[in-house]
Amino acid sequence: MDWHRSDYLLSDDKARLDLDSIVAMLRTSYWAKDRPRQVMERAIRHSVCFGLYHRGRQVGFARGVTDQATFTWVCDVIIHADHRGQGLGKWMMQCLLDHPDLQTVSHHLRTEDAHGLYERFGFKRVEAMRRSTRA
């Protein structure tokens, strides 16, 4: 599926994704700055992905990990710094939540700094548990 807004294109077509751009954007984040490229290649293969493009260049990314029935884990939502402040993150989130493959009973995510953005979409802060092989 493709969505258009001004000079921007949002697409769920994985063939359009620019892995170098995605990895570069994620390296500027607190949650994925050390994530290896190979991990992202594998994560993309097993996720519903959204690429945001401005005049053909990738400037945003998000993905949903899902069983397509009971849950979707929203992750790696990022907009390149040069394109922030235009409502693109909100637009990308709305398209993600409306996507037919992500119409699940619940949606989950984790954030340290964007609570206000996600609360606009009905997300609520809850206690969670975690098990990880990494810190």
Q: Tell me the pLDDT tens digit for each residue of 74-127.
A: 999 999 999 999 999 999 999 999 999 999 999 998 888 888 888 888 888 888
Pairing of strands 57-66, 8-11: unpaired
125 part of a folded domain:
no
Cα separation, 81 vs 69, whole angstroms: 34
135 part of a folded domain:
no
Contact 48, 12 (CB under 8 A): yes
Choose among 61, 12, 8: nearest CA to 32: 61
Q: How far is CA 45 from CA 14, 42, 110, 135, in A?
A: 8, 5, 21, 24
Over range 49-56, report the average pLDDT.
Answer: 97
130 part of a folded domain:
no
CATH number at residue 77: 3.40.630.30
HSE-CB for 118 with a 13 A CA cutoff: 17
Domain that holds residue 85: 2-119
Contact 2, 13 (CB under 8 A): yes
16 part of a folded domain:
yes
Confidence class of residue 8 from pLDDT cuts 50, 70 and 90? very high
pLDDT of residue 75: 95
37 part of a folded domain:
yes
133 part of a folded domain:
no
User: What mean pLDDT value characterizes the chain?
Assistant: 93
For the cut 80, the answer to whether the pLDDT of residue 133 exceeds it is no
Q: 69-100: string of b/e by CB count within 10 Å (b at 16+)?
A: eeebbbbbbbbbeeeeeeebbebbbebbbebe
126 part of a folded domain:
no
Pairing of strands 2-5, 8-11: antiparallel
Contact 52, 58 (CB under 8 A): yes
Please give the tally of structural domains in the chain: 1
Contact 20, 66 (CB under 8 A): no
